[in-house]
Amino acid sequence: MKNIAEIRNFLDLKVEKYNKIEFISNDPILIPHLFQKKQDIEIMGFFAATLAWGQRITIINSCKKLIQLFENEPHKFITKSSENEFKRFEGFVHRTFNDTDLLYFISFFRHYYKNNETLETAFSNHITPKDENIEKALIGFYHIFFDLPYAPNRTHKHIASPAKKSACKRLCMFLRWMVRNDNNGVDFGIWKNINASQLICPMDLHVDRVARRLNIIESTKTDWQTAVELTNFLKKLDAKDPVKYDFALFGLGIEEKF
């Protein structure tokens, strides 16, 4: 691409192509779209993002298995069920995410929703409108998530943090789902205390490859600073909603093999 205007025009066309409800059926975002209740959307959106590695159909199937275990009402089951009913989760596995991890996730949600109306505050309490991006929100969430005294050491690998240099792809994707608000029906826009301009673009292998082919990132690594570098470029294209270009970059990578 020769200049920013050319890149913007190219990517805008791809956003228009891929930011559509028709693409939900093959993507993990399908999972939270199965629900109407805010807390169910949050919980299953979080699980769908956490399990989002590997083939998309496998991710979706693992999440649907969880929904069945939650008796189709994740928030109600987590907050109202007895401890004995949690035995049904024994044996659950998705790649390296196993029942030990799952039971701790459930314990966290159980504890948090007893004291909070929405998962949003676990992130938004650590950020102000003046913050450039969500870095503080992700670091704050990491500490809250593992604040329970019985947090298993093995489960730490499933929640990333910028403090550990991670690109935090899954958390950035989850926040995109919750925060972005347009009329296309893909992202939910149910969280109001984090601005779309503060989001960081989720960097998976497809986004990383396409961004390098377009020469819009220079870093040789794929870490938090690279995700920030990419997002800062995207802000030149749309300062208020840079992460809408995730649709374009991901679509180019996985659908068009760009």
Per-residue model confidence (pLDDT) at position 2: 57
Q: What are 39-96's pLDDT values in tens digits?
A: 999 999 999 999 998 889 999 999 999 999 999 999 999 999 998 999 999 999 999 9
- Written as six digits, the tokens of 126 are 């650590």
Is residue 1 scored above 60 in pLDDT?
no
| Structure confidence at residue 258 as a pLDDT band (50, 70, 90) | confident
Q: At CA 158, angle to CA 152 and CA 159, rounded to 5?
A: 95
Q: What are 165-222's pLDDT values in tens digits?
A: 999 999 999 999 999 999 899 999 999 999 999 999 999 999 999 999 999 999 999 9
Per-residue model confidence (pLDDT) at position 71: 97
Average pLDDT over residues 12-24: 95
Per-residue model confidence (pLDDT) at position 121: 98
**Ramachandran bin of 168, using left for φ above 0, alpha for ψ from -120 to 50, beta for the remaining angles:** left
* Spatial separation of the C-alpha atoms in residues 31 and 59, rounded to whole Å: 10
Q: What are 112-133's pLDDT values in tens digits?
A: 999 999 999 999 999 999 999 9
Helix, strand, coil percentages (3-state) for the chain, rounded to 5, are 60, 0, 35
Per-residue model confidence (pLDDT) at position 255: 85
Report the predicted TM-score, pTM, of the whole model to 2 decimal places: 0.96
Average pLDDT over residues 228-232: 98
Per-residue model confidence (pLDDT) at position 254: 86
* Spatial separation of the C-alpha atoms in residues 172 and 210, rounded to whole Å: 18
Is residue 100 scored above 60 in pLDDT?
yes
Domain ranges of the chain: 4-254
Name the strand (E) or helix (H) holding 98.
Answer: strand 97-98
